[in-house]
Each structure stands twice: as structure tokens, then as C-alpha cells.
Amino acid sequence: MNEMARLQKRRLAVYGWMLSAPALALMSLFAFYPAIATFWHSLFSRGTSRRPSVFAGFENYGDLFADPTFWTVATNNLIYAGVTIPVSIIFALVMALWANAHIPARSFVRSAYFTPTILPMIAAANLWLFFYTPDLGVIDQITGFFGASPTNWLGQPETALASVIIVTIWKEAGFFMIFYLAALQTIPPDLREAARIEGAGRWTYTRRVLLPLLMPTTIFVFVNAMINSVKLIDHLFILTKGGPNNASKLILYWIWEMAFAYFDSPHAAAMTILVLLALGLVAVAQFRLVEKRTHYR
């Protein structure tokens, strides 16, 4: 009897491993192995024709922390994430509620909002490069009409990062709107009717019924926006190249520079590992805190 139970248990364990094997193999190949290899690589000094690479322990990490650029770039990325994530989500939600309401030309509104998403980032950045051009650009044409003097949006440290952030929001909000639209379509109208009968106003209904029901979507969009805030740097290559004086440089762009412009892959690897750690911590926090407060049906 006991024997039977043990066999049964073991068989279940084998089934479990078999079921997860394909995913596990793929994950190992494309995620675990590269991460470990990157970590290993980050422990060695940079080898050149004159000096072979040697084991350096955590020296590369020490160099990063001692480099003022590291702190500039990290701060920039925190601001970038701190603004683009909530603002894109709020914009997406407002746009979705509006595009879901009974207004004329509803499909036109939807597709207009969605257009930026379809454009490749490089093309979008080139468009915005001309929007931002002092004097000639659309933005200065408009402000100039009201008598403002031309502003060098991308060419001054005070506004360079903000300009990059605006492009990102413009690009992302339409994409996230699609998810919200889909979620709104699935909410049964009788909930709204019931709330009406109970005497709840529009605002109460939105706050007490609609938003909680949209929470799973919000989580999904939030995770996406989070990943994008670290991974989205295409427009930097076109708009500012991280300048002026690092004012708009983000982490991944800096990693790219170290690896491919400076031929310094060990430091790039070290920085990559730091990013992985930070994202890992965020993921853990998300699962622990936010998941509890979400109602899945």
C-alpha cells in the first residue's frame, strides 16, 4: 500500500517534469544559460592584443559604481520609467473609455489612437525629430504662433529627457489602449444597469465596478510598460544619442555603447547583470503585492 503510494507519487513527479520539459529546455537555452554566461563574462577584465583577459572578481561592478555616468544613467532611467509607465497607462485608459463610449466616428477615433503603434520606432523618432526642430518644427510653429520664442527641445539638458519621454508615451498609449478596449468589451452591460438602479453615479460606477474589473488588464499593461521602460531605446539613436552631456542617456543605450562602441563587453555584461537583478526584484515585488489585490474571474 505504502509502496503503491510512493510509486504513484514518483510517477506524478515524472509526469510533472515531462510536462515542463519543453518549456524548461527553451528557457534554459534562451534565458538561464545566457544569463549565467553573462554573469561569468562580467567577472573577467577586458582582453586586448596587449593584455590578455584575467579573472577580476567584482572589479567591473566596482568600476560601474565609481563612474558618475552610471548614476546619471540610472537616475534618467528611473525618471523615464516613473513618468512613462503611469502616464501611458492613464492615457490608454482614458482613450479606451472614450473610444468605447457611444460617440460619432468611433472607429475613426480608435484607429487614429492606434496609428502611432503601427509605426516602427525609428520612423516615429524621425518624425518627432522634425517636430522638435527649433523654428522649423511643428511644435515651435505652434508656440511661435502665440508669440513664444523658439525652443531647442532636444538640444538642452532641461528638456531633452522630457522630449524623449513624450515620444515614448505617444508611441505606447495607443498600444495599451487596445488591451483596455478589449477588456471593456467583455464587461457585461447588466452590471452598469444594476449600478444605475442602485442609484450609483457614473463616477462611482467607474471607481467601484469598472476599474476593479479592469485590474487584470492593468497588471498586464503595467508589466509591459515596465519592460519597455528598460528595453525601448531605438528612438535615442535618432533623437539625441543620449546627449546633451548624457542628459537623456538610458541604461540599455549605455550598455550598447559599452559593448559595441567601446569594445568593453565585460563592463556591459556587469551592467546587464545589474539590470537583471533589478528587474528580478521588481517581478518578485509585483507577484507578492499586486497579485493579492487583483480579482480574476
Partner 1 sequence: MRNIVTSAAFAAGLMATAASPAFAATELTMYYPVAVGGPLTSVIDGMIEGFEAENPDVKVNAIYAGNYDDTRLRAVSAIKSGDPAQLSVMFSIDVYDLIEQDLIVPFDDVVKTAEDKEWLKSFYPALMANGEVDGKTWGIPFQRSTIVMYYNKDMFREAGLDPEMPPQTWEELVSTGKALSKDGKWGLMVPSTGYPYWMFQCFAIQNGKELMSADGTETYFNDPAVVEALEFWRGLATEEKIMPEGTIEWGTLRQAFVQGQTAMMWHSTGNLSAVKREAQFDFGVAMLPKHKQPGSPTGGGNFYLFKDSTDEQKEASLALIKYMTAPERAAEWSIATGYVGVTPDAYETDVLKAYVADFPPALVARDQLEVSVAEFSTYDTARVREGLNNAIQAALTGEKTPEEALGDAQSEAERLLRAFH
Cβ-count burial 178-209 (b if 16+ within 10 Å, e if not): bbbbebbeeeeeeeeeebeeeebeeeebeeeb
C-alpha grid cell for residue 96?
A: 479606451
Min. distance of Cβ 68 from partner 1 in angstroms?
A: 10
Residue with Cβ nearer partner 1 (92 or 247): 247
What phi and psi values does residue 44 have, to the nearest 5 degrees? -110, 155
The Cα-based distances of 196 to 96, 98, 101, 200, 214 in angstroms read: 21, 20, 17, 5, 19
In the complex with partner 1, the residue whose CB is nearer, 132 or 170, is: 132
Instruction: Give me the residues that bind partner 1 (CB under 8 A), please.
Output: 48-51, 120-122, 129-130, 133-136, 150, 152, 154-157, 234, 238, 240-241, 243-246, 257, 260-264
Nearer to partner 1, 159 or 286 (CB): 159
For residue 30, the 8-state DSSP code is I
Q: How far is the CB of 128 from partner 1 (least distance, A)?
A: 11
Closer Cβ to partner 1, 51 or 288, answer by number: 51
Minimum CB separation of residue 101 from partner 1 in Å reads 34
Residue 47 dihedral angles phi and psi, to the nearest 5°: -95, 140
- Shortest separation between residue 120's beta carbon and partner 1, angstroms: 6
Q: Which is nearer to partner 1, 116 or 195 (CB)?
A: 116
Residue 154 near residue 163, CB atoms below 8 Å: yes
Please state the closest distance from residue 261 (CB atom) to partner 1, in A. Answer: 4
Pick the closer one to partner 1 by CB: 2 or 49: 49
The total number of residues shown for the chain amounts to 297
Cis status of the peptide bond prior to 244, with omega within 30 of 0: yes
d(CA 43, CA 49): 19
